[in-house]
Amino acid sequence: MADADLLIGEVAAYLKPQDVEHIREAIEFSHAAHQGQTRQSGDPYISHPIAVARTLTTLHLDVQAIIAALLHDVVEDTKITAEQIAEKFGKPVAELVDGLSKLDRIRFETREDAEAENFRKMLLAMARDVRVILIKLADRLHNMRTLESMPHEKWERIARETMEIYAPIANRLGLNDIYRELQDLSFKHLHPNRYAVLFKALKVARGNRREVVGKILDAIRQRLAEQHIQADVTGREKNIYSIYKKMQSKSLAFAEVLDIYGFRVLVNDFAACYLALGALHGLYKPIPGKFKDYIAIPKVNGYQSLHTTLFGPFGTPIEIQIRTHEMHKIAAAGVASHWLYKSGHFSTNDLHKKTHQWLQELLESLSQSSDSSEFLEHLKVDLFPDEVYVFTPKGKILSLPRGATAVDFAYSVHTDIGNRCIAVKVNHELAPLRTELRNGDRVEIITAPHAKPNPAWLGYVATGRARGHIRHFLKTMQSGESAQLGERLLNQALQTLGVKPQDMDEAHWDKLLKDTGVKSRQDLLADIGLGRRLNMVVARQLARVGDAAPSETAANTVITIQGTEGMAVQFAKCCRPIPGDPIIGVIKSGQGLVVHTHDCPALRKGRSGSEQWLDVVWDKNITRPFEVGIKLVVANQRGVLAKVAAAIAEAESNIENVNFTNEGEYTALHFTLQVNNRLHLANIIRSLRKIPEVMRIIR
């Protein structure tokens, strides 16, 4: 096995002789376990784990990680158990292999469920030991390099998963080379024709621009030498996918993408970075707005560098990165630099702390996800690579994904701040909560003790953390409110059967929960409130286990609508009932109790035999406002809208929404108003009728 000899040579360069011997044993163990197995390409299977291990040697990972890479498919694809691995190579290696093994032995309903659970398991293992994901990324990199041997129909799924999840994870961990290669390989298999065209064009451009690049390199080196700045200057070609992204985002042809080459300047110390920047700004003019200081404010993956774009010779934009040698090491290896350069004189502790913190926050937000699609959505959102940096009132810097809003900021500070936020000041000025934040914004959140998340926030938050906490709060709140409504509905049904609710003690409830297979009393009541179970059916079951003789002669009771039930009681948008209207309740599965007016046309039209209808009445002491819709037909005259708005305000009502449609000589104004009850609405209509231009009013 020539590859095995190469691997031994690579590990011998940085590991102790006894560690190299352990790796020899692991190669033999893996080879024996996979004996007779081949890859889709026809190569012996052992070629894959050896290739994965060789990628890890470029990061100088330790002996345990190299052995785990060699054994990562053994438990999954052979009869070898994790216990046997632990016995031969130690418990840490067995734990790494277990974190990498898929959940193939568990049956899932859909591929998405299996995928989500595999990622969840991988992230949990990664939070315990980041080497799990380093091995997984090396595994995915080799699989992508050999994807041509897989059936063509699998290309898109594997490439898309790599582009959306694995490449961003590599970026988030600062593994820049792996990140770029995964992007290019994914692009190649997702869009093979586009990749081929760009690859060919880049090859031609490389020859055409060689002379220009050489002149720029010479000019940069000469200027830095004149300023007595010791530096290594190299040219680098941008990867194909980043060129494609630039063409797409700016609608450019390939010939218009001039900065396909970048230049990297490596200096000895921190101060020399800024001296080099000044020297190069004197050589070529900088392009305004194209300077980024990632040294003062590092990226969340630990990356530090100065980025500037200059007007080069012949009008060619030149992109230059300036950093120290130590910064370059972290830029290349990211979180793996802990192993690669741990003998050096700089520390990567902060990077490891940040990575661990990110993983904990990611797992916390993902733990709120109730289903696989929600989990994968949160995962992809949190791996979004672009960042904005904003400041708290105390000057602390927070990193958020591009497109993040004030609500995202609030949740990134603390869950309670997010749950209770009511307003925001951006750069000392009040702004809407949906305001998208920009680099350098100073953000101050205003909270109130009794405030709670608004479901509308889900429409514009950009972080998985915020989305997860909002959904969790709303589900918890809905469950609590639904349980309260369910209890009222169940008590009503018990009274209808002539059974006193207070006679049903804990023993009766325990037996009912056992019979129905529901976890808790709260869950059962919530199911009733949400219409998933009929109150009369549950009441009969409870009466039966309580040995109470059901009697259907008792008077039917009605549900009183108090207006404070929250999400468990909804007021139908089709008829917008308000206190004073005759009303009827409909229990709809998953929605709870929906209240309509008695004469609602939509209710009559859409009536279903499966729905449960309830008698409901308004509480006499309701004080909260309700929304109601009215239509005004008015003459087309100047100032009529102002008169109507003034009359509504004088009648002590708020306008929630207004729109209009033109009807020739007349205009139809559609208002959504806030009113206290039917009498309040009557007073508003009376005021509006006094306006001469108002021809007709319809509710």
Quick one: tokens of 688? Answer: 């509006």
Question: Using an 8 Å Cβ cutoff, are 437 and 409 in contact?
Answer: yes
Kindly state the tokens that stand for 247: 């063409």
Tell me the C-alpha to C-alpha distance, in Å, between residue 559 and each of 534, 598, 617. Answer: 15, 15, 6
**Beta strands 694-698 and 626-635: pairing type?**
antiparallel
Identify each DSSP E strand in 254-356 by its residue range: 261-267, 285-286, 292-293, 306-311, 317-324
| Of 591, 608, 603, 492, nearest in space to 532 by CA | 591
421 contacts 414 by C-beta, under 8 angstroms: no
**Nearest one of 181, 472, 170, 453 to 333, comparing CA atoms:** 170
Closest CA to 498 of 555, 582, 426: 555
Q: Tokens for 570, please give them.
A: 């909804």
| Residues catalogued as catalytic | 76-77
* Beta strands across the sheet bearing 592-597: 559-561, 612-618, 583-588, 592-597, 569-571
Tokens in use for 90? Answer: 């130690």
Say how many C-beta atoms besides its own lie within 10 A of residue 292's C-beta.
Answer: 15
Residue in the structure block whose two tokens are 């290696």? 93
Q: Residue 563 has which token pair?
A: 């207006």
At 460, list the tokens. Answer: 């514009």
Best CA proximity match to 264, nearest among 276, 255, 253, 275: 276
Q: How many CA atoms lie within 13 A of 314 on its CB side?
A: 9
Q: Which residues contact 461 (CB under 8 A, 6 or more apart)?
A: 404, 405, 407, 408, 411, 467, 470
